[in-house]
Amino acid sequence: MEAPENGGGPLTLEQAASALGVHYMTAYRYIRIGRLPAEYRSGRWYVHPCDLAKAARTKRSRPVDGASEGAAAPVPGPDASTPTVDLMQDRLLAGDAAGAWLIVENALLAGSPSDVHLEVLAPCLRRIGDSWARGEISIADEHRATALALGLIGRLGPLFARRGRHRAGTVLLAGAEGDTHAIPLMMVGDQLRGAGFSVNQLGADVPLDALVATAAGIDGLLAVGLSASTAQAAANAARAVTALHRRLPGVPVFLGGPAVRSEEAARELGADGWARDAATAVSLLTSLESP
Protein backbone atom coordinates (compact mmCIF):
# COMPACT_ATOMS: atom_id res chain seq x y z
CA MET A 1 0.00 0.00 0.00
CA GLU A 2 1.42 3.42 -0.96
CA ALA A 3 1.47 6.20 1.65
CA PRO A 4 -1.11 8.84 0.70
CA GLU A 5 0.27 12.36 0.28
CA ASN A 6 -2.31 14.60 1.88
CA GLY A 7 -0.83 15.51 5.25
CA GLY A 8 -2.86 12.99 7.25
CA GLY A 9 -6.28 14.52 6.49
CA PRO A 10 -9.26 12.63 5.06
CA LEU A 11 -8.77 11.11 1.60
CA THR A 12 -11.17 11.26 -1.30
CA LEU A 13 -12.42 7.97 -2.71
CA GLU A 14 -9.99 8.25 -5.62
CA GLN A 15 -7.03 8.94 -3.30
CA ALA A 16 -7.99 6.02 -1.04
CA ALA A 17 -8.30 3.72 -4.07
CA SER A 18 -4.93 4.78 -5.36
CA ALA A 19 -3.31 4.23 -1.94
CA LEU A 20 -4.85 0.77 -1.78
CA GLY A 21 -3.82 0.00 -5.36
CA VAL A 22 -7.36 -0.80 -6.48
CA HIS A 23 -9.84 0.71 -8.93
CA TYR A 24 -12.01 3.42 -7.35
CA MET A 25 -15.14 1.26 -7.95
CA THR A 26 -13.47 -1.49 -5.91
CA ALA A 27 -12.80 0.99 -3.11
CA TYR A 28 -16.43 2.09 -3.35
CA ARG A 29 -17.53 -1.55 -2.96
CA TYR A 30 -15.25 -1.91 0.09
CA ILE A 31 -17.15 1.02 1.59
CA ARG A 32 -20.57 -0.43 0.74
CA ILE A 33 -19.85 -3.78 2.37
CA GLY A 34 -18.34 -2.18 5.47
CA ARG A 35 -14.76 -3.24 4.80
CA LEU A 36 -13.47 0.31 4.43
CA PRO A 37 -14.89 2.81 6.95
CA ALA A 38 -15.81 6.09 5.24
CA GLU A 39 -17.83 9.22 5.77
CA TYR A 40 -20.28 10.68 3.25
CA ARG A 41 -20.20 14.49 3.18
CA SER A 42 -21.61 16.94 0.62
CA GLY A 43 -22.05 14.20 -1.98
CA ARG A 44 -18.53 12.70 -1.62
CA TRP A 45 -16.96 9.84 0.28
CA TYR A 46 -14.00 10.51 2.58
CA VAL A 47 -11.70 7.90 4.10
CA HIS A 48 -9.47 8.42 7.10
CA PRO A 49 -5.87 7.34 6.34
CA CYS A 50 -5.69 5.15 9.47
CA ASP A 51 -8.55 3.01 8.11
CA LEU A 52 -6.64 2.20 4.92
CA ALA A 53 -4.27 -0.21 6.65
CA LYS A 54 -7.17 -2.36 7.87
CA ALA A 55 -8.73 -2.61 4.40
CA ALA A 56 -5.33 -3.38 2.85
CA ARG A 57 -4.70 -6.19 5.36
CA THR A 58 -8.08 -7.74 4.60
CA LYS A 59 -7.36 -7.44 0.89
CA ARG A 60 -4.20 -9.51 1.15
CA SER A 61 -5.44 -12.15 3.56
CA ARG A 62 -9.05 -12.67 2.47
CA PRO A 63 -10.31 -10.69 -0.51
CA VAL A 64 -13.94 -9.75 -0.22
CA ASP A 65 -14.65 -8.84 -3.81
CA GLY A 66 -12.91 -11.69 -5.51
CA ALA A 67 -14.11 -10.63 -8.98
CA SER A 68 -11.75 -7.68 -9.08
CA GLU A 69 -8.96 -9.02 -6.87
CA GLY A 70 -8.43 -12.36 -8.58
CA ALA A 71 -9.60 -14.86 -5.97
CA ALA A 72 -12.93 -15.10 -4.19
CA ALA A 73 -13.17 -15.05 -0.40
CA PRO A 74 -13.25 -18.61 0.93
CA VAL A 75 -16.67 -19.50 2.26
CA PRO A 76 -16.35 -19.92 6.04
CA GLY A 77 -17.19 -23.08 7.95
CA PRO A 78 -20.48 -23.44 9.87
CA ASP A 79 -20.93 -20.78 12.55
CA ALA A 80 -17.35 -19.64 12.05
CA SER A 81 -16.51 -16.09 13.00
CA THR A 82 -14.93 -14.91 9.75
CA PRO A 83 -14.67 -11.61 7.90
CA THR A 84 -17.52 -12.69 5.59
CA VAL A 85 -19.86 -13.44 8.49
CA ASP A 86 -18.71 -10.27 10.31
CA LEU A 87 -19.31 -8.13 7.23
CA MET A 88 -22.72 -9.66 6.59
CA GLN A 89 -23.76 -9.12 10.21
CA ASP A 90 -22.60 -5.51 9.93
CA ARG A 91 -24.56 -4.88 6.70
CA LEU A 92 -27.71 -6.65 7.95
CA LEU A 93 -27.72 -4.60 11.14
CA ALA A 94 -27.12 -1.43 9.09
CA GLY A 95 -30.13 -2.30 6.89
CA ASP A 96 -27.93 -2.06 3.78
CA ALA A 97 -29.59 -4.33 1.21
CA ALA A 98 -27.19 -3.47 -1.62
CA GLY A 99 -24.08 -4.01 0.51
CA ALA A 100 -25.43 -7.30 1.87
CA TRP A 101 -26.17 -8.54 -1.67
CA LEU A 102 -22.61 -7.67 -2.75
CA ILE A 103 -21.34 -9.95 0.01
CA VAL A 104 -23.65 -12.71 -1.23
CA GLU A 105 -22.40 -12.26 -4.80
CA ASN A 106 -18.82 -12.46 -3.62
CA ALA A 107 -19.48 -15.57 -1.52
CA LEU A 108 -21.10 -17.18 -4.58
CA LEU A 109 -17.77 -16.85 -6.40
CA ALA A 110 -16.20 -19.14 -3.82
CA GLY A 111 -19.10 -21.41 -2.93
CA SER A 112 -22.59 -22.61 -3.76
CA PRO A 113 -25.95 -21.03 -2.83
CA SER A 114 -26.16 -23.76 -0.17
CA ASP A 115 -22.85 -22.52 1.31
CA VAL A 116 -24.24 -18.99 1.43
CA HIS A 117 -27.28 -20.25 3.36
CA LEU A 118 -25.42 -22.44 5.80
CA GLU A 119 -22.08 -20.74 6.23
CA VAL A 120 -22.88 -17.05 5.87
CA LEU A 121 -26.56 -16.28 6.53
CA ALA A 122 -27.42 -18.94 9.14
CA PRO A 123 -24.45 -18.21 11.46
CA CYS A 124 -25.07 -14.51 11.01
CA LEU A 125 -28.74 -14.81 12.00
CA ARG A 126 -27.83 -16.94 15.01
CA ARG A 127 -25.31 -14.34 16.14
CA ILE A 128 -27.88 -11.58 15.70
CA GLY A 129 -30.42 -13.63 17.72
CA ASP A 130 -27.85 -14.19 20.46
CA SER A 131 -26.99 -10.45 20.53
CA TRP A 132 -30.68 -9.70 20.97
CA ALA A 133 -30.98 -12.33 23.73
CA ARG A 134 -28.01 -10.69 25.54
CA GLY A 135 -29.68 -7.27 25.23
CA GLU A 136 -26.92 -5.86 22.99
CA ILE A 137 -29.27 -4.94 20.14
CA SER A 138 -32.95 -3.99 20.17
CA ILE A 139 -35.81 -6.06 18.82
CA ALA A 140 -36.13 -3.45 16.05
CA ASP A 141 -32.48 -4.04 15.05
CA GLU A 142 -33.13 -7.80 14.96
CA HIS A 143 -36.33 -7.35 12.90
CA ARG A 144 -34.57 -5.05 10.38
CA ALA A 145 -31.77 -7.56 9.90
CA THR A 146 -34.25 -10.43 9.57
CA ALA A 147 -36.34 -8.56 6.97
CA LEU A 148 -33.22 -7.97 4.92
CA ALA A 149 -32.10 -11.61 5.26
CA LEU A 150 -35.52 -12.76 4.03
CA GLY A 151 -34.98 -10.65 0.89
CA LEU A 152 -31.53 -12.17 0.31
CA ILE A 153 -32.88 -15.70 0.71
CA GLY A 154 -35.69 -14.86 -1.73
CA ARG A 155 -33.15 -13.64 -4.32
CA LEU A 156 -31.06 -16.78 -3.84
CA GLY A 157 -34.12 -19.04 -4.28
CA PRO A 158 -34.06 -19.34 -8.11
CA LEU A 159 -30.39 -20.39 -7.97
CA PHE A 160 -31.54 -23.67 -6.42
CA ALA A 161 -33.68 -24.53 -9.48
CA ARG A 162 -32.79 -28.03 -10.63
CA ARG A 163 -32.44 -28.93 -14.28
CA GLY A 164 -32.67 -32.55 -15.40
CA ARG A 165 -34.12 -35.48 -13.49
CA HIS A 166 -36.45 -34.81 -10.59
CA ARG A 167 -36.90 -37.23 -7.75
CA ALA A 168 -40.17 -39.09 -7.24
CA GLY A 169 -42.54 -37.96 -4.51
CA THR A 170 -43.23 -34.72 -2.67
CA VAL A 171 -41.86 -33.44 0.62
CA LEU A 172 -44.29 -31.39 2.70
CA LEU A 173 -42.62 -28.73 4.89
CA ALA A 174 -44.27 -26.77 7.67
CA GLY A 175 -43.54 -24.82 10.80
CA ALA A 176 -45.13 -26.19 13.96
CA GLU A 177 -48.29 -24.44 15.05
CA GLY A 178 -47.43 -21.20 16.91
CA ASP A 179 -43.90 -21.05 15.48
CA THR A 180 -43.33 -17.85 13.49
CA HIS A 181 -39.81 -18.73 12.30
CA ALA A 182 -39.99 -19.11 8.51
CA ILE A 183 -36.32 -18.78 7.48
CA PRO A 184 -35.24 -22.30 8.55
CA LEU A 185 -38.01 -23.79 6.41
CA MET A 186 -37.14 -21.58 3.43
CA MET A 187 -33.55 -22.82 3.56
CA VAL A 188 -34.53 -26.48 3.92
CA GLY A 189 -37.10 -26.14 1.10
CA ASP A 190 -34.69 -24.45 -1.32
CA GLN A 191 -31.99 -27.02 -0.71
CA LEU A 192 -34.39 -29.94 -1.19
CA ARG A 193 -35.58 -28.37 -4.46
CA GLY A 194 -31.95 -27.98 -5.49
CA ALA A 195 -31.48 -31.71 -4.91
CA GLY A 196 -34.43 -32.49 -7.20
CA PHE A 197 -37.24 -32.99 -4.68
CA SER A 198 -40.71 -31.55 -5.21
CA VAL A 199 -41.44 -29.40 -2.20
CA ASN A 200 -44.82 -28.34 -0.90
CA GLN A 201 -43.86 -25.43 1.36
CA LEU A 202 -46.48 -24.29 3.90
CA GLY A 203 -44.15 -21.92 5.77
CA ALA A 204 -44.38 -20.96 9.43
CA ASP A 205 -47.12 -21.50 12.03
CA VAL A 206 -49.34 -24.10 10.36
CA PRO A 207 -52.47 -25.13 12.33
CA LEU A 208 -52.50 -28.86 13.03
CA ASP A 209 -55.79 -29.62 11.22
CA ALA A 210 -54.68 -27.76 8.08
CA LEU A 211 -51.35 -29.58 8.12
CA VAL A 212 -52.92 -33.03 8.35
CA ALA A 213 -55.56 -32.24 5.70
CA THR A 214 -52.90 -30.92 3.29
CA ALA A 215 -50.67 -33.95 3.84
CA ALA A 216 -53.60 -36.32 3.22
CA GLY A 217 -54.36 -34.58 -0.08
CA ILE A 218 -50.89 -34.94 -1.61
CA ASP A 219 -50.40 -37.77 -4.13
CA GLY A 220 -47.05 -39.48 -3.68
CA LEU A 221 -46.20 -37.87 -0.35
CA LEU A 222 -42.64 -38.95 0.41
CA ALA A 223 -42.22 -37.37 3.86
CA VAL A 224 -43.24 -34.49 6.10
CA GLY A 225 -40.67 -32.13 7.63
CA LEU A 226 -41.64 -30.02 10.63
CA SER A 227 -39.60 -27.17 12.07
CA ALA A 228 -39.61 -26.02 15.71
CA SER A 229 -37.61 -23.06 17.00
CA THR A 230 -39.12 -22.71 20.49
CA ALA A 231 -39.99 -25.16 23.27
CA GLN A 232 -43.73 -24.54 22.79
CA ALA A 233 -43.36 -25.19 19.05
CA ALA A 234 -41.56 -28.47 19.79
CA ALA A 235 -44.49 -29.60 21.96
CA ASN A 236 -46.90 -28.67 19.17
CA ALA A 237 -44.71 -30.48 16.64
CA ALA A 238 -44.97 -33.64 18.77
CA ARG A 239 -48.78 -33.42 18.57
CA ALA A 240 -48.54 -32.96 14.82
CA VAL A 241 -46.30 -36.04 14.47
CA THR A 242 -48.86 -38.15 16.34
CA ALA A 243 -51.74 -36.85 14.20
CA LEU A 244 -49.82 -37.37 10.94
CA HIS A 245 -48.80 -40.92 11.87
CA ARG A 246 -52.40 -41.75 12.73
CA ARG A 247 -53.80 -40.36 9.48
CA LEU A 248 -50.93 -41.38 7.16
CA PRO A 249 -49.23 -44.48 8.55
CA GLY A 250 -46.08 -45.25 6.61
CA VAL A 251 -45.25 -41.61 5.77
CA PRO A 252 -42.13 -40.63 7.73
CA VAL A 253 -42.20 -37.38 9.68
CA PHE A 254 -38.90 -35.56 10.31
CA LEU A 255 -38.17 -32.81 12.81
CA GLY A 256 -35.59 -30.03 12.86
CA GLY A 257 -34.97 -26.54 14.19
CA PRO A 258 -33.16 -25.07 17.20
CA ALA A 259 -35.69 -26.46 19.72
CA VAL A 260 -35.02 -30.06 18.62
CA ARG A 261 -31.35 -30.49 19.35
CA SER A 262 -30.62 -34.13 18.49
CA GLU A 263 -31.83 -37.31 16.84
CA GLU A 264 -32.65 -38.60 20.32
CA ALA A 265 -34.77 -35.51 21.12
CA ALA A 266 -36.62 -35.88 17.80
CA ARG A 267 -37.33 -39.58 18.48
CA GLU A 268 -38.65 -38.68 21.94
CA LEU A 269 -41.11 -36.34 20.25
CA GLY A 270 -42.26 -39.29 18.10
CA ALA A 271 -40.44 -38.36 14.87
CA ASP A 272 -38.87 -40.80 12.42
CA GLY A 273 -35.69 -38.77 12.02
CA TRP A 274 -33.87 -35.48 12.50
CA ALA A 275 -31.40 -33.29 10.66
CA ARG A 276 -29.14 -30.61 12.11
CA ASP A 277 -29.22 -28.42 8.99
CA ALA A 278 -30.58 -28.15 5.48
CA ALA A 279 -27.70 -30.06 3.88
CA THR A 280 -28.20 -32.98 6.28
CA ALA A 281 -31.94 -32.80 5.57
CA VAL A 282 -31.14 -33.44 1.89
CA SER A 283 -29.07 -36.53 2.82
CA LEU A 284 -31.85 -37.77 5.08
CA LEU A 285 -34.50 -37.48 2.37
CA THR A 286 -32.19 -38.95 -0.25
CA SER A 287 -31.64 -42.01 1.95
CA LEU A 288 -35.39 -42.75 1.74
CA GLU A 289 -35.01 -43.41 -1.98
CA SER A 290 -32.12 -45.85 -1.78
CA PRO A 291 -32.86 -48.64 0.72
List interacting residues with ligand B12 (CB under 6 A).
118, 122, 125-126, 128-130, 133, 142-143, 146, 178-184, 187-188, 225-227, 229-231, 254-259, 275, 277-278, 281
Nearest to 4 by CA among 44, 63, 45, 53: 53
Of 181 and 193, which CB lies nearer to ligand B12 in the complex structure?
181
Compute the distance between CA of residue 68 and CA of residue 206 in angstroms, rounded to an integer.
Answer: 45
The CA distance from 159 to 156, in Å, is 6
Contact 105, 70 (CB under 8 A): no
Closer of 82 and 227 to ligand B12 (Cβ): 227
**CA-wise closest residue to 254 among 288, 231, 220:** 288
- Report, in angstroms and rounded to the nearest whole number, the Rg of the chain calculated over CA atoms: 22
- Pick 10 or 178: Cβ nearer ligand B12: 178
Q: Which residues of 30-62 are buried (b: 16+ CB within 10 A; e: fewer)?
A: bbbbbbbebeeeeeebbbebebbeebbebbeeb
Closest CB 132 distance from ligand B12, rounded Å: 7
Residue 128: partners with Cβ closer than 8 Å, 6 or more residues away: 89, 92, 93, 137, 141, 142, 145, 146
Smallest gap from Cβ 216 to ligand B12, in A, equals 19
- In whole angstroms, the minimum distance from the beta carbon of 175 to ligand B12 comes to 8
- Least Cβ distance, residue 159 to ligand B12 (angstroms): 16
Minimum CB–partner distance for residue 42 and ligand B12 (Å): 38
Q: State which residue, 10 or 129, has the beta carbon closest to ligand B12.
A: 129
Closer of 154 and 217 to ligand B12 (Cβ) = 154
